[in-house]
A and B are shown apart, each in its own frame.
Chain A
C-alpha cells in the first residue's frame, strides 16, 4: 500500500492540527479549513454550518460542522481567536471544500487571541508522517 499522505495534497506553507485542520497564518489573523485527508474521509460536502462573525473559537474545540450526504463532522479549531469572516460562498457551493480545500474551500478567518499557539501545530512533514502512521 502506498503511504496515506501520497494520495492528497498538503501545502508547505500551512500549519496543521492532528484533527485534520489547517491554518494559514498572516500576521495576527489566520484562515482555517480542513485538510485534503479530512474532506476525502468525509466524502462530498453538502452543507457547512458556519459560526457567527464575532464568535470566539477555542483551540482544540469544535467551531463548526461540515456534513456529507451520510455524516456530520465537527470542525476543530487549530488556534484560538475571534471569527472575523466566514466563507459565505460555501452556502451555495459546499462542494468547494472537496474541490479546493486550501483555496476556495476555506471555512473561516479568525483574529488570533493566542498567536503563540501556532508553535504547537504540525509542519507539513510532521502532518504527513502522522497520516502515514
Chain B
C-alpha cells in the first residue's frame, strides 16, 4: 500500500459544490452525504438517486484463455455468461477465504470486464496477475478509463432513457452505448435492492453527465445511503461481512460457488459446504431502542455467540438493524439474542433476509 495523498474522482468538485460531507474511504476522498442519509436513502427507494462510485476498480481480461482463466479464479460458473451478460462471483484464495466479491461482465467472445472493490483493487490485480501466468490471457488495469455512476431507484430507467437517450439492458446484462458522445458501458446491476443501472463512462464526460442527471431530478446520494440501502437488502460488503478469514458458505454465498468448475478455493468450499459452517451470517433487528454497530458482541443466554459485522439505523424500517456472524445452531429466524452495544445489552432477534423487501 502506498501512503500517497487520497485520490479524487472526476466528480470531486461537483460534490464540493453540492455541499457534500467528504470522508476518506479506501484511499479516496468520497462524498458520504449531501442533504442527509435518510433523504437520499428514501430518494432511491421511492424515486431515483445517483452515486459516484468511480473509486471502484475495473480490470479487463482478454484473450483466447479468458474464459478458462476466469473459471479458475472466480467462484461462479463463468461459462454460463453469454456475451452481454453479467454475473456475481467471489474471488477466493486456496483455503476458500474471500479476497473480493465482484461482478464480471462479458463484453465480447474473449473479453470480460470485472469491477473490483476500491480497497481491494491493487491486491486483486496482483492476485489475478499471478494466477494468469499459465493462461493465454491479458489482465489489464483499466480503472483510469472509467468513471462509474450508479443510477438507482424505481424511476431510474425512465429518467435515464429520456435524459441520456440510451437503451437500457435488462437486469444482469451489459450493453455498449454512447454516453456524452463517448463509448460507455451500461450495466443492469446495482447495490441498493432497487432497479437501476451502473454506468461506466469516460471520465472526461462525467461532469456534464452528472449535471444532466441532476437537472433531470436525480438525487445525488453519498456512501452513507449506499451503505444503509445495501444493508437493508443484506448485500454483503467486503471488509465487513466478507474477508479472507471467512468462506462464502459462512457468508451465505454458496449459491455463487460452483465447485465443479475447479476454481481456486473450490476444494475448501466443497468441504465447508459438506460439513456445514460453524458460524453463519444472519440479519438482525433490535427489538426496541438502540443501534448496534460493527464489532458489537452478540450474546445468547448471556454467552458470547457472535459478532456484528455491519450495524446501522435502517431508514426504511426505522430501527436498528444489521448483519452478524453467529453460531450456526442459533441462526434460525426469530431466535432472541442480545447485542452488547457499548456495555448496554440490547434485545434483538434474528430476522429474515432481506431485512427490507419491496412491496409490489
Contacts and interface: CB of A to CB of B under 8 A. Distances in A.
Count chain A CB atoms within 10 A of each CB in B32, B227, B312 and give the residue with the most. B312
Count chain B CB atoms within 10 A of each CB in A43, A46, A49 and give the residue with the most. A46
Which are the 3 A-B pairs with shortest beta-carbon distances? Answer: A46-B313, A69-B37, A69-B313
A133 interface: no
Contact of B32 (A44, A65, A70, A72): A70
A70 B290 contact: no
A91 B342 CA distance: 19
A49 to B, nearest CB: 7
A42 B293 CA distance: 16
A72 B315 contact: no
Interface in B311-360: 312-313, 315, 320, 342, 344
B342 A70 contact: no
Given A69-B228, A69-B315, A70-B227, A44 B289 contact: no
Contacts, number: 40
Contacts of B239: none
Contacts of B293: 72
Nearest to A46: B313
B75 interface: no
Interface of B: 21, 32-33, 36-38, 224, 227-228, 289-291, 293, 312-313, 315, 320, 342, 344
How many residues of A sit at the interface, in one of the four size bands?
A: 10 to 19
Contacts of B37: 43-44, 68-70
Nearest to A40: B21
B38 A44 contact: yes
Contacts of B228: 69
Given A69-B312, A70-B224, A47 B291 contact: yes
Given A69-B228, A70-B32, A91 B313 contact: no
Nearest to B227: A70
Nearest to B32: A70
Interface string A86-101: 0000010000000000
A86 B289 CA distance: 16
A91 B288 CA distance: 11
A43 B291 contact: no
Nearest to B344: A49
Nearest to A98: B36
Nearest to A70: B224
Interface in A40-74: 43-44, 46-47, 49, 65, 67-70, 72
Given A46-B313, A68-B37, 10 more contacts: A43-B37, A46-B38, A47-B289, A47-B320, A49-B344, A67-B313, A69-B224, A69-B312, A72-B291, A91-B289
Nearest to A65: B342
Contacts of B33: 43
A46 B224 CA distance: 14
22 contacts: A43-B33, A43-B36, A44-B36, A44-B37, A44-B38, A46-B38, A46-B291, A47-B290, A65-B342, A67-B313, A68-B37, A68-B313, A69-B38, A69-B224, A69-B315, A70-B37, A70-B224, A70-B312, A72-B291, A72-B293, A72-B342, A91-B289
